[in-house]
Each structure stands twice: as C-alpha cells, then as structure tokens.
Structure 1
C-alpha cells in the first residue's frame, strides 16, 4: 500500500510532466498505429532529416514552390528495397522544380549548378548500395526533394528519384 501511495503523491506533484508525456505518447500512437498520413494540423518532426521540430501543415491543394517544405508519400523505385517505405510520408524541402537541371559529378549532386549534397554509396542502416540520381532536366509536375541531413533518403538517390506532384500531401510552414 505504501508504494501505491507514493506513486499517487508523485502523480499529483508531477501531473504536468505526466500529462505532457501522455500527449506525446498519444500523438506517436496515432502516427504509428493510425492512418499513415493523419490530417493533424501540426507536424512533429523527430528525425534529423530537417532542422524543424514543429510545423503547421496545410493539406488543401498545395501550390508547391522551390524552397517550400512539404510532406510527400514515398512511392519511388526504392520501395522494392525498402518495402516499409511504401506510402510513408516524408518531410523534405523542395530544392528543384520543373525546368531545373540536375547534374551529377562523381557522387556530388547539383541543381542548376548549386551543390545540394553528396550521394553516399550505401544506405546508413541497411547498407543497400545507393546510386546517385542521373543527370536530367526536371519535367513538369515533378520536384527534386532534399533533406538537410547527410543520411536523408531524398532525390539525390536513384531509388528515391524525383517526386511527382500527385504524391505531395501537404505544404508545411515550419514554426521552430
């Protein structure tokens, strides 16, 4: 009985901490167990892919421009190697739009002559061989997506490739 009483006293004393942890757990549960693309108005980013932790999400017909942050559903060629990524929502920045030129020099990738990243030879966790995207001009209705982390799985890689507008789920406005 004493342990139960101590627990109840701790809960009363630290209720705010427990409420916050419960809210985080519930949001994570919705994300993991619920709809893979929940229509929550806020995005909580817990990956090093982008530097923002919380962002406002706009789901209505997104008008996408260079520099925008977006959520897109992954349907790239890499689904064969990473089946868990099928329709997985990704949070990335639009680094290239229709008409932009993608150029690859070795494993260094450039969009319109601006360095956007180095394509690593292997995936960080699974060690699957990764080839850089081929040189191309981005066609209408497609985007070059870029994460800010070195290990981001983005358009630098052929397995991710360019992302069609139909796969863009929302435009995101980072708060912090």
Structure 2
C-alpha cells in the first residue's frame, strides 16, 4: 500500500507541477489555398499592361471582386482607387500555385487563369487579348493602329452647295 501511495503522490506532484506555458509549442503558419477565382485575379494582375488595367480586369464581376477583396485582406495584392498590383507575398503565392514561373512568365495554367472571363476569347484569341496576357504595350498599340487602318472610313458628306439647295427648293415649288 505504501508503494501504491508513493506512486499516486508522485503522479499528483507531476500533474501539479506541469504547466502548459512551459510547453514549447511550435507555431505553424496558416495555410492558404487560393480558389480558381483568386488565381485568376493573380494572373490578370500579372498580365495587365498597367496597374489601372489590372484594377479594371479584376473588378468585372462579383466573383472576381470577392476574390480580389480576400486577397487584399490577406496582403497578397494592393488595390486602391481602381489600381491593382501584386505584393511580394502575392508574387510568391503566384509562383507557389504555378501561375507564374521563376522567369516572370505565366505558366500554361496561369495563361488559362488569365483568360477566364475574357470577352475576346469567345471568338478566338485576339491580338489585344494576347497583348494583355504578355504585358506588351507595343503589341497593344500595334493592334490598335491596325484596327484603325482596317476600319472603313466614313464617306465624307458632300458639301451643301447653295445652288444645290436652291435647285431642290425650286423643284419642290414646281411640284405644288
């Protein structure tokens, strides 16, 4: 019985001496796995020519806005006054999720995300969509100029000559 009592007293002493704050707990960083829309937001920011264009691209519909707002709150993107950009933390997330590679280029998966919701893609890739995806302002400018060249020019109206108006007026008078 004496051994038994010593055992329980020792166990009680251990439990009483045990303090939770003495445990060295390892803090784990919270794991964030972005949704498809959040990956699309990252890809659209990466491919946009300017931060203003990026802001417009990620504000097109409710899903993109919701994804954008979560990424802002978590510190992955900056969004202010219609302008959007990636933070260093966002750049790392884009790399970790396979949206962006180490060379700063979109991966094939990233290209798919950047096209999500692209109106031009319904009818096949356009040079404007390509320019947005590759961040090439010169290609976008070239596409704009090409579009202007190919647009049929409106015919210039003939000048209204005073004699022509008088002739029409005279004809109208004679018809009565």
Which structure would you say has the larger RCO, counting Cα contacts within 8 Å and 6 or more residues apart? 1
User: What range describes the TM-score normalised by the shorter chain of this pair?
Assistant: under 0.3
Q: Quick check: which one's helix share is greater?
A: 2
Larger Rg: 2
Q: Quick check: which one's strand share is greater?
A: 1
TM-score, normalisation: structure 1: 0.19
